[in-house]
Structure 1
Amino acid sequence: MNNLTTDRLIRYSKILLMAYLSFFALLVIYSNFIDYSSNYEYVGHILSMDTTRENLNINYRAITSPMLHHRIYWVIITLEAIYTACYLTGTYQLFKHRHSSIDEFHESKKLSIIGILIAIFVYYVCIQAIGVEWFNMDESQVWNAKDWARHIVDFIVPLLIFLTLKIER
């Protein structure tokens, strides 16, 4: 324990936090493949706007084509698979460079950062911005992922800031 300096602890905490994100991402991907139909149903209801109140001013936004539902859902799954691969590889890179120089350790953060940015796109832009603001997802009593997505964003944005800071020596 005497060898555990604050600087080393900061490096390890960045590695551990990325490992936590990697675990979460693996569970998301697993769920999407094992339980495709219920997750697809979720996407379909949001895009169809069939569980939000009737509003003639915005009902034109609804996408009711099951073919488009599947395609949009596969775009989301693909993005989730990409950020999962970035998380896993990024975590490995951080671990591999845990004893490297400051600059080498800092450079090993690239894939982790890319993965977090893709996840922010999925959970903030796609779900919170488009799902809530365009498809009125927040009005649905059953098919509403706004709070779930917000919790994810609330975790990964501070992690992005912490990860990118070059405070370890």
Structure 2
Amino acid sequence: MGTRYAKITLVLALAAFASLVAFNNITDYGSNFAFVKHVLSMDTTFPGNAAMYRAINAPWLWHGAYGLIILGEALTALLLAWGTLALWRTRQGSAAEFNRAKVRATTGLALGFVVWFFGFMVVGGEWFLMWQSHQWNGQEAAFKFYMAIVGVLIFLNQPDTD
């Protein structure tokens, strides 16, 4: 039972994290919108880099990208919360029931990985060269987030037995 409670607790903790991130981005929209704007416009990358054709300078696209980020964070939070509830409800059930209940949490963790790894490392970090910016580089924070997600994903999906 201890392992099941640990899995439930870790999924719940990540649900709380994703909820707070989405909440903060909604209630303090401007703070992280500036981050998105600078990353997408590539205005703090190395001067004269050959990839500036990738820069996006349309405010509606900045808002659209930020909206997608917030949506991904919020959906991650909802799926993880729903997954936590499913795990909690089956905590005393059979191993087969508990293993089946993992699907929502697993989906939420996978979506969170997509948001913070694909969104911030692949798209932001490599496509928009965020790594070149000393001021607007969110790769270190994203790394912490998606590694926590990967750790919980691996632990959660270890088969439970009766």
| TM-score, length of structure 2 as denominator length | 0.97
Query: How many residues of Structure 1 are paired with residues of Structure 2 in the alignment?
Result: 162
Give secondary structure in 1 for the equivalent of 2:159: coil
Cα deviations by residue, 1:82-109 (Å, 9 ceiling, x for unpaired): 1111010100110111001101001111
The one-letter amino acid of 1:134's match is: W
How far residue 56 of structure 1 moved from its aligned partner, in angstroms, is: 4.1
1:90 to 83, 105, 115: 83
1:58 to 51, 64, 85: 51
The one-letter amino acid of 1:22's match is: A
Task: Confirm whether residue 18 of structure 1 aligns to residue 18 of structure 2.
Answer: no
Tell me the residue number matched to 1:104.
97
Structure 2 residues without counterparts, runs of 5 or longer: none
Give me the whole-angstrom Cα distance separating, in 2, the residues matched to 1:47 and 1:71: 11
Tell me the residue number matched to 2:135.
142
How far residue 24 of structure 1 moved from its aligned partner, in angstroms, is: 0.5
Matched-pair contact (CA < 8 Å) for 1:11–1:168: no
The one-letter amino acid of 2:66's match is: Y
How far residue 167 of structure 1 moved from its aligned partner, in angstroms, is: 3.3
| TM-score, length of structure 1 as denominator length | 0.93
Q: Percentage identity across aligned positions? A: 37
Structure 1 residues without counterparts, runs of 5 or longer: 1-7
Give secondary structure in 2 for the equivalent of 1:19: helix
Give secondary structure in 2 for the equivalent of 1:64: coil
The one-letter amino acid of 1:90's match is: G
Q: Which has the larger radius of gyration?
A: 1
How far residue 55 of structure 1 moved from its aligned partner, in angstroms, is: 3.0
How far residue 23 of structure 1 moved from its aligned partner, in angstroms, is: 1.1
Give me the whole-angstrom Cα distance separating, in 2, the residues matched to 1:56 and 1:34: 35
Give secondary structure in 1 for the equivalent of 2:160: coil
Tell me the residue number matched to 1:47.
40
Give me the whole-angstrom Cα distance separating, in 2, the residues matched to 1:51 and 1:85: 34
Runs of 4+ in 1 over 2 A off after TM superposition: none
1:158 to 136, 151, 155: 151
Give me the whole-angstrom Cα distance separating, in 2, the residues matched to 1:158 and 1:168: 20
